[in-house]
Amino acid sequence: MKSRLPVKRKGWAGNCLAAVRENGIYHAAGILLILAVKHHYSTAGAEALRWILTPVAGLVALLNGMDFEWLPQAGFVNHAHSIVIAPACAGVNFFIICFASLFFTFVSRLRGCREKCSWFALSATIAYLVTLAANSLRIILSVFLYDAPIYAGWLTPGRVHQLAGTVLFTSLLVLTWLVAERTVQRPGPPEQAETRPGSRRFEGIPFSAIFLLAPFAWYGLITIVVPLLNGAFRLYGPEFVEHSVMVMLVCGCVFLITARLMRQVEKRVDRPD
C-alpha cells in the first residue's frame, strides 16, 4: 500500500519564482513603456505633448466653458483666468502611476499571451482616459479654488492647489483600481481560494485592504522615490520635504477611508439575511 506524502507547498519564494516565469516578459514590457514615456516627458516641449494637452484643454472648455489659445512655446492659455495648460501640468506622471497600478497588479490574473497583451493595451488606454478626466477636473477645481476666500498664513494658493490635486488624483486612482479589482478576476484551484487575489479573507484580514496598497505604492514611488533619486531633495530641500509629507498624509487618509468603506461593504455581504 502506497503511503500518501503531503503535498509540498511552494511558499512565497516559489510563488514569486513562478510569477516571474509566467509574467516576466510582460512586466518587462510594462517597464519599457514606463521608461519610454518618462524619457519622452523629460525632453518634450508643449508641441510634443499635444497628444495629452489638446484633449485636456478640450474637456476643460467643454465642461467649464473656457476658451483656450494655443501658444507653441507655452501650451494652451486662457487669458481671462490666467490659466496655462503647460507641459509641467500635463499629467504624464499620473498616467504612468495609473498604468502601472492597473497592469502590474492584475496581469498575473490572466492566462495566455492574448489575454495579457490585451490587458497591456487596455491598461494604457484606461490610464490615458482617466488621466484626461483627472487633469481636466483638477484645472476646473483650481479655477474655483483660486477665487475662494480661504487663504491666510500657511494656507497659500500653491499649497491648496497641490493638496486638491493630490486628493483628486489619489481618489480617482483608487476608484479606477477598485473597478479593475472587481472586474479582472480569474478563479483559481480550490486549495488556493483563500489566498488568491479576489478572495475575501487572508489570515483574518480583508485581503482587499492588503491588495489596495498597490496603487498607493506606485503613487509614492513615482511622486516621491523617483524624484528623490533624481536629486529633488538636494535641489529643492524644504519644498520637497513638504511635498512628500503632503503626499504621504493624503495617501494615508485616502487608504484608511477606502479600507474602512470596503470593510463595511464586506460586513453587509457577510451578514445573513
Helix (H) or strand (E) holding 178: helix 157-183
The conformational region for residue 65 under phi > 0 = left, psi -120 to 50 = alpha, else beta, is: left
- Give the number of C-alpha atoms closer than 13 A to the C-alpha of residue 61, restricted to the C-beta side: 15
Phi first, then psi: what are they for 77, rounded to 5°?
-120, 135
Nearby residues of 76 by Cβ (< 8 Å), 6 or more positions away: 53, 54, 56, 57, 68, 69, 70, 84, 85
Q: In what order do the strands lie in the sheet with 69-71?
A: 69-71, 75-78, 83-85
Phi first, then psi: what are they for 198, rounded to 5°?
100, -15
Q: How many CB atoms lie within 10 A of CB 142?
A: 18
The pLDDT value given to residue 122:
97
Q: What angle do CA 16, 256, 11 make, to 5 degrees?
A: 15
The pLDDT value given to residue 261:
87
| Mean pLDDT, the chain cut into blocks of 10 residues (273 residues total) | 48 60 89 96 92 94 89 87 86 96 92 93 97 94 82 81 92 95 65 43 49 92 94 90 95 92 75 55
The pLDDT value given to residue 3:
46
